[in-house]
């Protein structure tokens, strides 16, 4: 059965040295790749129409209430049946007897056993009488937004660091605006492979949980490893470039066993030469991408200028200064190729990224010429280090301005990219192209980018693929490498503009101009100090206005504020909350909120009167509690105690952000003005309780006395000078409760009572 054939075919892909006697290729005027296949499989082959037949082009539609995910695919009239498997990320695929079988006429699978906010993975197989097809998609409904993507190690070649300092700093800020915490390191030209690995590993070990990615800019030392020829050319068997060495943080890499001097000296591999023995990947912990535009003399510009051009278009893509049309072009010059069908990987991936209806088969160069926009592209054909037969050569790229952003190329030789004018690196030197990969042996796994994941995530997933996804010859080999920025994503949201952060005392007022993106749901606001690498979100819920106030910055220093627009992105893989990259502004806080408060209490000689003093660098309010149920809001009050004893007065110093409390100790050994008549008999308050209207009377003239009323929090709310034997007080406008009454005579004597308003 065709469904069984795939398992055998996958296993075949792990071996070399096949018998090709009875296999003939039908490609005229093309330099074809060597083909590796078991003779037991070859005898069953019957050519299908195209590589497209081998791909099940799956795309997703979703429903929110009730939650439903519908898998759709392009049917094929020769199909005899389908089967579908489902799992959660990180889990194994279920046993085959738990898969869902569907008739050959099917073009849809409906799954209602789903929940919003969860990612589901689906595997679809197509069976036909003479070929076998596979598709994968990761799907979800309203997946949550990603605020923090982790730490990224940015390695800059020494010869580029100064000349491109502006562009590199801008790139760092762009990456931070997408949730990365960037650790930048300039690598000296003399630094060898083990030392580069040590730089990466030390940064990784400092935070193994959050360190996710590495972006190498420039011709930093290239690791080589192995003894193989994945393109099956005898003169190309030896050590290949192996950037995955920089992605593996705990694998064992040796340089003791391989001994080959086949081919050019660059791929020779002998014990102790600094090239490693391993052919296969244990596991990649990091997502590695490289931008190396050195040694490209076919282009008239220098490495520095080519790299500057790349960083400029990288920034423009991220900020949506140009809009990539979500469509793809495939230029397939190999066809079915005995079931390997190299372009089938493109058909599978592109269906989940742009939709199969937006995928065309056409000429690579003419389709994208003069900036004609395509988000994705793929081309394969017989090759050399500088040419993909039927697709493009390095010289073609040198005179082109192609509008494709993400591309993949495949053919002989040039997957070994560390040579001058290499055609795998050439697309990055022109047009809008930002990434490239040698995809065909093996197929690359890109469909996760339809849910907002990065190109680096796809790179790591492809390198670590242990047949969890489609796999053919070349999987788990060390040659897989990404040319370009690993942090780029498939779906870009237009950012805000004109972000302005203005200091207002200890607060910051933030404003911005709206994103031009349609259907913006709102904005997220973040901040960090200049010395921090990670932004922290300030808002609990989306901000729907174009301004935000951040109160009470605690410390002095330089702060950065960033705003990101959010939309609900709908793609052929489902829906997820997607954010623009942030746009930031800087504000300087000259001083910290620290009050530096001090207080003192000085007892006047031979009395019970105390002079209180308080000071604070930034204090605006002072509340004194004297320890005898009386209070004052004055900064430096004078208070007379009526009885002897030890008191514990305190002052609470405040501004509109912070407060500080200072406790004191006062010992009273004698009472001031004890010769006057009894204080308790001088004043009467009635009625008490009252509705807020009450009278104060005295048996003597109250001239020179003053009335102070405080609420239950000790705050003075009412003051009045007293001059007669009777005074009327009206507090009826104040809330009901208990209030403190303090009458201070002209001699400093105090009468303390409580009144109740009800």
What tens digit of pLDDT does each residue of 540-594 get? Answer: 999 999 999 999 888 889 999 999 999 999 999 999 999 999 999 999 988 887 8
Cβ–Cβ < 8 Å for 267, 286: no
Neighbouring CB atoms inside 10 A of 337's CB total 24
* Count of residues in the chain: 758
Name residue 686's beta-bridge partners: 695
Measured from the Cβ of residue 162, the count of other Cβ atoms closer than 10 Å reads: 11
CA-wise closest residue to 294 among 160, 400, 405: 160
- Note the pLDDT of residue 209: 97
Do 537 and 526 meet the contact criterion of CB atoms below 8 Å apart? yes
Indicate the angle between helix axes 165-177 and 303-318, nearest 10 degrees. 30
Instruction: Verify cis geometry, omega within 30 degrees of 0, for the bond prior to 689.
Output: yes
Q: Could you give the C-alpha distances from 62 to 110, 121, 467, 659, in angstroms and in order?
A: 10, 14, 28, 53
Nearest Cα neighbor of 514 from 597, 430, 580, 415 is: 580
Q: Which tens digit of pLDDT belongs to each residue from 451-493? A: 999 999 999 999 999 999 988 999 999 999 999 999 999 999 9
Percentage of the chain with pLDDT > 90? 72
- 102 touches 81 (CB < 8 A): yes
Relative to beta strand 373-380, strand 403-410 is: parallel
What pLDDT does 129 receive? 85
Under the banding of pLDDT at 50, 70 and 90, the label for residue 672 is: low
Please list, in sequence order, all residues whose beta carbon lies within 8 angstroms of the beta carbon of residue 332, skipping any fewer than 6 positions away. Answer: 50, 51, 342, 343, 346, 361, 378, 379, 380
Starting at the edge strand found earlier in the chain, the sheet holding 392-393 runs 383-384, 387-388, 392-393
- For 648, counting Cβ atoms within 10 Å of its Cβ (0-12 exposed, 13-18 middle, 19+ buried), the class is exposed
Q: What angle do CA 427, 416, 223 make, to 5 degrees?
A: 110
Q: Name the band, by pLDDT with cuts 50, 70 and 90, for residue 682.
A: low
DSSP label of 276: B
CA 96 – CA 116 distance, rounded (Å): 27
Q: Report the pLDDT value the prediction gives residue 570, as an integer from 0 to 100.
A: 98
Cα distances from 125 to residues 45, 52, 131, 180, in angstroms, run 18, 14, 11, 37
Query: How would you classify the pairing of strands 403-410 and 650-654?
Result: unpaired
Give strand pairing partners of 97.
Answer: none
DSSP class of residue 678 equals P
Q: Say if residues 740 and 710 touch (Cβ distance below 8 Å).
A: yes
Cβ pair 385, 421 in contact under 8 A? yes
Give the whole-number percent of the chain exceeding pLDDT 70: 92
CA distance 341 to 336: 4
Place 268 in a pLDDT band, splitting at 50, 70 and 90.
very high
Q: Which residues pair with 121 in a beta bridge?
A: 87, 138
Residue 72 has pLDDT above 70, yes or no: yes
Q: What is the DSSP letter of 99?
A: S
Phi-psi region of 566 (alpha: psi -120 to 50; beta: other; left: phi over 0): beta
Task: Give the DSSP H/E element, type plus range, for residue 194.
Answer: helix 193-206
Q: Is 251 helix (H, G, I), strand (E, B) or coil?
A: coil
More confident: 120 or 616: 120
Is pTM beyond 0.75? Reply is yes
Over residues 328-348, the mean pLDDT reads: 95
Q: Residues 142-179: pLDDT tens digits?
A: 999 999 999 999 999 999 999 999 999 999 999 999 99
Mean pLDDT across 675-682: 45
CA distance 753 to 750: 10
Q: What is the pLDDT of residue 673?
A: 55
């Amino acid at each position: 059965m065709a469904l069984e054939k795939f398992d055998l075919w996958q296993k075949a892909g792990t071996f070399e040295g096949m018998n090709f006697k009875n296999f003939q290729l039908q490609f005229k005027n093309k330099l074809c790749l060597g083909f590796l296949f078991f003779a037991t499989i070859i005898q069953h082959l019957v050519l299908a129409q195209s590589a497209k037949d081998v791909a099940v082009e799956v795309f997703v539609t979703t429903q929110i209430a009730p939650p439903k995910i519908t898998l759709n695919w392009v049917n094929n009239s020769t199909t005899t049946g389908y089967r579908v498997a489902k799992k959660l990320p990180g889990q194994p695929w279920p046993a085959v007897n738990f898969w869902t079988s569907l008739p050959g006429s099917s073009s849809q699978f409906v799954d209602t056993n789903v929940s919003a906010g969860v990612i589901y993975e689906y595997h679809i197989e197509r069976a036909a009488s003479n070929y076998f097809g596979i598709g994968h998609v990761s799907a979800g409904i309203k997946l949550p937004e990603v605020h923090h993507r982790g730490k990224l190690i940015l390695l800059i070649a020494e010869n580029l660091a100064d000349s491109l300092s502006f562009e590199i700093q801008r790139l760092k800020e762009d990456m931070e605006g997408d949730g990365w915490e960037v650790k930048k390191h300039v690598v000296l030209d003399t630094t060898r492979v083990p030392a580069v690995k040590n730089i990466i590993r030390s940064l990784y070990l400092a935070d193994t949980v959050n360190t996710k990615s590495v972006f190498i800019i420039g011709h930093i030392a290239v690791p080589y490893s192995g003894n193989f020829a994945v393109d099956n050319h005898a003169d190309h068997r030896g050590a290949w470039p192996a950037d995955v060495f920089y992605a593996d943080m705990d694998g064992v890499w040796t340089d003791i066993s391989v001994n080959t001097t086949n081919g050019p000296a660059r791929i020779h591999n002998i014990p102790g030469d600094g090239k490693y023995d391993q052919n296969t990947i244990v596991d990649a912990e990091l997502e590695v991408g490289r931008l190396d535009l050195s040694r490209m003399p076919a282009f008239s510009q220098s490495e520095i200028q080519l790299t500057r051009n790349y960083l400029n278009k990288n920034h423009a893509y991220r900020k949506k200064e140009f809009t990539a049309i979500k469509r793809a072009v495939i230029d397939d010059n190999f066809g079915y190729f005995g079931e390997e069908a190299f372009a089938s990987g493109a058909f599978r991936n592109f269906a989940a990224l742009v939709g199969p209806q937006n995928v065309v088969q056409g000429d690579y160069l003419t389709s994208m010429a003069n900036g004609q926009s395509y988000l994705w592209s793929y081309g394969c054909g017989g090759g050399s280090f500088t040419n993909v037969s039927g697709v493009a050569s390095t010289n073609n790229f040198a005179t082109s301005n192609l509008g494709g952003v993400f591309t993949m190329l495949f053919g002989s030789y040039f997957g070994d990219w560390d040579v001058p004018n290499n055609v795998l690196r050439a697309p990055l030197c022109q047009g809008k192209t930002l990434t490239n990969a040698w995809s065909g042996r093996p197929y690359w796994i890109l469909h996760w980018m339809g849910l907002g994941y990065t190109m680096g995530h796809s790179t790591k997933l492809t390198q670590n693929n242990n047949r969890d996804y489609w796999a053919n010859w070349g999987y788990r080999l060390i040659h897989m490498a990404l040319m370009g920025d690993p942090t780029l994503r498939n779906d870009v949201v237009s950012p805000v503009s004109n972000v302005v952060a203005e200091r207002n005392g200890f607060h910051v007022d933030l404003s911005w101009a709206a994103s031009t993106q349609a259907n913006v749901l709102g904005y997220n606001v973040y901040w960090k100090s200049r010395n921090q690498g990670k932004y922290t979100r300030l808002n609990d819920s989306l901000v729907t206005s174009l301004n935000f106030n951040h109160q009470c910055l605690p410390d002095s220093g330089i702060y950065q504020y960033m705003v990101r627009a959010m939309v609900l992105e709908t793609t052929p893989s489902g829906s997820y909350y997607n954010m623009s990259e942030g746009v930031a502004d800087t504000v300087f806080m000259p001083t910290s909120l620290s009050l530096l408060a001090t207080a003192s209490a000085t007892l006047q000689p031979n009395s019970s009167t105390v002079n209180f003093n308080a000071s604070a660098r930034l204090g605006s309010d002072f509340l004194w509690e004297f320890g005898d149920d009386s209070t004052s809001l004055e900064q430096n009050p004078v208070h007379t105690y009526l009885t002897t004893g030890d008191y514990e007065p305190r002052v609470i110093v405040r501004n509109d952000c912070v407060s500080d409390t200072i406790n004191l100790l006062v010992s009273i050994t004698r009472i001031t003005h004890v010769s006057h008549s009894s204080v308790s008999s001088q004043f009467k308050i009635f009625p008490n309780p009252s509705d807020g209207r009450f009278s104060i009377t005295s048996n003597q003239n109250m001239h020179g006395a003053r009335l102070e009323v405080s609420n239950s929090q000790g705050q003075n709310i009412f003051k009045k000078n007293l001059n007669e034997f009777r005074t009327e007080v009206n507090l009826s406008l104040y809330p009901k409760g208990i209030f403190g009454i303090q009458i201070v005579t002209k001699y400093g004597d105090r009468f303390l009572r409580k009144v109740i308003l009800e």
